Structure formats: structure tokens, C-alpha cells
Amino acid sequence: MARIPLIAGNWKMYLSLAEAVDLGRAVAASCADLKNRQVMIAPTSAALAAVSAATQSSTVKLAAQNSGWEKEGAFTGENSPVMLKDLGVSMVILGHSERRHIFGESDAMVNRRLLAALNFGLQPILCVGEQLADRDQGNTFAVVENQLRAGLEGVSSTQLDQVVVAYEPVWAIGTGKTATKEQAQEVHAFIREKIETLYEKNLAGEIRILYGGSVKPSNVDALMGQADIDGALVGGAALDAESFDRIIHFK
């Protein structure tokens, strides 16, 4: 089965409510002519309800930037997957490097969040990626493998088809320094190979692996031309309607 490309915009902690609604509408309009590709946007949780209303009659998928591991409870500052679903959210970004490295989220937390997302019917995007020091020391593959194994712990073969993986080398995020298409492809192929070891060949062939880290209109075509790159997780360039429109219309 062919992997349907997914272009995902991570809006991080940017945009006023009015700006988020405007951008949501613009992305919805950009998607009107798309065939055989999916587009997702992840506003801040504060803007989810409004962006959900603004995009509900479109094909744009709405995502949260994180989600909790229980249905409800005393978890100040968290959003439950069930509450997010109520808002029209269908996907969630988990284990983003900013969560891991700024807020100290561990692999174990990311795994709990991922299992809960699957149990409550949200499609998780599991983010993995090495820091510059890891790459310099030759530890890229070990770091990525550990994050992948720990993140997917307890995920069954039947649940795996709901999971999307995103490879985001930390040194390429927000730095303007994209991994070359060869560097990205090498790690994507490695991730697919590891999934084949953890699960089986046909599941590894079906899982989508997105690349993230300074994806722009100028480099998206080359990245998307790689055999194991099935989409992009876009930060900065997803905040501008025109840039994102070009990215979702990659050639």
C-alpha cells in the first residue's frame, strides 16, 4: 500500500487567536485542490477550538502539540486526549525535542502519552532526533533507536498503523540548517529498518516517517524526493500561509 504523504505544520507557541484563525482558513483554502496527500496543523491548545471551527468543513487535520496520559485527573497544565478529541482534534505531536529538552520529558512519559493517545483514538506523531553533540560523537543511530524503541514500547502491531514517526534532528530545528537530503534519507531508512525488526516488513513499509528541521519551500521538493521521506513536520515556514501553501504543493 502506498504511503500517503503528510505535511504537518507545528505552530509551536506562536500566533494570536485572530492570526491562528486566519492562518487556519488560509491552509484550508490551500488544501482544496489537493489529491492523495494529507495536511495537518497544530495550533497552541489555546487556539484549538477556534481553529477547529474555522477548518471543520475542510480536509485539514487538526492536531495538538502534546496530550496527557489519562482521561481526566489532577494534572495541572495538561490536556486529556478525550478533551482534545471533543475539540475536533484527530492527531497529536508527541516527544517533540522542545518537550524533551526544554521541559524534561522522558522517553517513559512520551511512551505513556503515546499509549493513551492510541487508546483514546488520537493518531500520534512520535518525534525522535539527535542533538548536535550526539551526531558529532557518532551516536545518531543509537539515540534515534533508543527513542524509537522506548516511544513504541507496548504498541501492538494492530495499533502501529495509527502511528506516524517524525525524524527531527535537533540541530536542524529553527536554525535554518536543514539536514541534507542524503543525511535525512539515511536516518529515515534506518528507522524503517528498525521498525521492521520490532514489528514486521509490511508494517515497516506502511508506516509514514516525516522529516522536520528547517523545511522550506526551497528544500521541500528535494527532501520529498527521497525514498523513505513520507512527509514533513514544518515549524517556522508553517506560520506563513504562502510558504506553507508551496510546501504542501511540493513537487
- List interacting residues with ligand 13P (CB under 6 A): 10, 96, 168, 173-174, 212-215, 233-237
Please name the residue that has the C-alpha cell 516525516.
210
CB of 50 to ligand 13P, least distance (A): 21
Nearer of residues 37 and 70 to ligand 13P, judged by Cβ = 37
What SS3 state is found at 30?
helix
With CA atoms as reference, report the closest residue to 239 among 52, 13, 63: 13
Nearer of residues 163 and 233 to ligand 13P, judged by Cβ = 233
Q: Which residues, in sequence order, are bridge partners of residue 123?
A: 91
Nearer of residues 90 and 199 to ligand 13P, judged by Cβ = 90
**Residue at shortest CB range from ligand 13P:** 235
Where are the alpha helices (H) located in the chain, listed in sequence order? 17-30, 48-55, 81-86, 97-102, 107-119, 132-136, 140-151, 157-160, 181-198, 201-206, 220-224, 241-248
For residues 46 and 43, what is the distance between their CA atoms, to the nearest angstrom? 8
Nearer of residues 10 and 140 to ligand 13P, judged by Cβ = 10
Please list the active-site residues.
Answer: 96, 168
Q: Answer positive or negative: Cα dihedral of 172, 5, 241, 95.
A: negative
CB of 104 to ligand 13P, least distance (A): 17
CB of 242 to ligand 13P, least distance (A): 15
CB of 168 to ligand 13P, least distance (A): 6
For residues 3 and 99, what is the distance between their CA atoms, to the nearest angstrom? 28
